[in-house]
Amino acid sequence: MSDFTPTRDDKFTFGLWTVGQTGRDPFGEATRPALGAPYIVERLAALGAYGVNLHDNDLVPIDASAQERDRIVAEFRQALSDHGLVVPMATTNLFSDPAFKDGAFTSADARVRAYALQKTMRSMDLGAELGASTYVFWGGREGTEVDASGKLLDALAWFRDSLNFLADYSDSQGYGFRFALEPKPNEPRGDIFFPTAGSMLGFIATLDRPERFGVNPEFAHDTMAGLNFTHAVAQIIDAGKLFHIDLNDQKMGRFDQDLRFGAENLKTAFFLVKLLEDSGYDGPRHFDAHALRTEDEAGVWAFARGCMRTYLMLREKARQFDADADIRAALGAYRVDDAELAELTRGFTPEKADALKAREFDRVALGRRGPGLEQLDQLTVELLLGLRG
């Protein structure tokens, strides 16, 4: 059995902004110093991570000159090659600068929308230069507090036009990006557009080239809103749209906490890991979280190591779950298969409809059957607590 030390094959990634987070929050200043990007690369590589992701301005300050940019990027690329890390995903910071305070692609000001497009194209150039294949869109400022602005339908159209434009830009440059749209219900805006995975999936179908676009769901975003994240991911997988995933943790109904993966909702994290592993998802497992504000730099690396370790421990638990004889028996008893009924209910024909309408079911017996879910769930809890096998 593994000692839960990650390897590159596990495809764990972190953002520069995650382990680089300095503890600043709306009520208080930074509690730890900023870390340089090459140093982050070195430390993540030593911990067994696979890659590092970034917003344009995590690496290059927004007002850097062309020479400064090139120097910073060259140093960063050197660190990547020295330590064997890749940049699988890149994204644009369209939320920090005051210019984006009322939206980027959905700003009511045409100049801001155009600047957002310009900034994103430059950021895509940077991502491509670093070898990224996935490009994430998280519209942190795309939303409202004041619906009197009357821009709801316009905002959707502006957002669509921007994504179509940028997909064409990617093609024109030969970048071949797959775009992953990240839903979040609120924070920093009172309401953010496209709050859920389902709303993103619906919107993707309206784009010029929907096949280029998928979803980047995040554990905390669904959990904040009291939704079941694992269910959302299942729906995204079913749609063939799981292009990337942001792992972290969160208490329901709180401010955006970005906790260490598995820190809060261990059972949900278990079923999520099991789903990802069972589905054959082979993309990066990206941790979009940060160390607690209480921590110093040692706490940051303990946080990063903990995210990966917990994922690997839950992956091992998922294997144990599949192999556990009592769990297998409980699952076997839970599912009732019937080949004849399966045939009758799959693929409509008028004959099948008639046969089904004529069929007699013992409704009372169906309602009386206990599916054994209490026992199955208790077995799961005991497995997670290490009390089985």
Q: Which residues of the chain form contacts with ligand GCO (CB under 6 A)?
A: 91, 136, 138, 140, 182, 184, 218, 246, 256, 288
Beta bridge partners of 89: 134
User: With CB under 5 A as the contact rule, which of the stretches 30-38, 76-84, 105-113, 282-290 interacts with Mn ion?
Assistant: 282-290
Residue 91's binding partner out of Mn ion, ligand GCO, none, with CB under 5 to 8 Å set by partner kind: ligand GCO
- Whether 97 is catalytic is no
The interaxial angle of helices 297-323 and 373-384, nearest 10 deg, is 140
Q: Does 288 participate in binding Mn ion (rule CB under 5 A)?
A: yes
Q: Is 55 a catalytic residue?
A: yes
**Which CB, 107 or 248, lies closer to ligand GCO?**
248
> With CB cut-offs between 5 and 8 Å by kind, which of ligand GCO, Mn ion, none does residue 212 bind?
none
Q: Tokens 């495809």 belong to which residue?
A: 11
Q: Which does 136 bind (CB under 5 to 8 A by kind): ligand GCO, Mn ion, none?
A: ligand GCO
Q: Least distance in Å: CB of 106 to Mn ion?
A: 18
Q: Is 142 in the site for Mn ion (CB under 5 A)?
A: no
Closest distance to ligand GCO from the beta carbon of 215 (Å): 12
Site for Mn ion contains 249 (CB under 5 A): no
Site for Mn ion in 190-219 (CB under 5 A): 218
- Rounded to the nearest angstrom, the gap between the alpha carbon of residue 106 and the centroid of all alpha carbons in its chain is 22
92 versus 144: smaller Cβ distance to ligand GCO: 92
Q: Which is nearer to ligand GCO, 30 or 353 (CB)?
A: 30
Active-site entry in 3, 9, 10, 55: 55
* Residue with Cβ nearer Mn ion (194 or 321): 194
Among candidate residues 3, 25, 58, 246, the one labeled active-site is 58
67-to-60, 79, 119, 139 alpha-carbon distances in Å: 11, 19, 17, 29
CA-CA distance, 245 to 237, in Å (whole number)?
11
Closer CB to ligand GCO, residue 230 or residue 250? 250
Question: Least separation, in Å, of the C-beta of 360 and ligand GCO?
Answer: 53
Residue with the CB atom nearest ligand GCO in the bound state: 138
CB of 138 to Mn ion, least distance (A): 6
Q: Which is nearer to ligand GCO, 138 or 203 (CB)?
A: 138
Least distance (Å) between residue 350 CB and ligand GCO: 50
CA atoms of 221 and 209, how far apart (whole Å): 26
Structural contact between residues 65 and 101, judged by C-beta atoms closer than 8 angstroms: no
From residue 340, alpha-carbon distances to 200, 343, 352, 354 in Å are 38, 5, 11, 15
Q: What are the catalytic residues?
A: 55, 58
Summarize as ranges the residues that interact with Mn ion (CB under 5 A).
Answer: 218, 246, 288
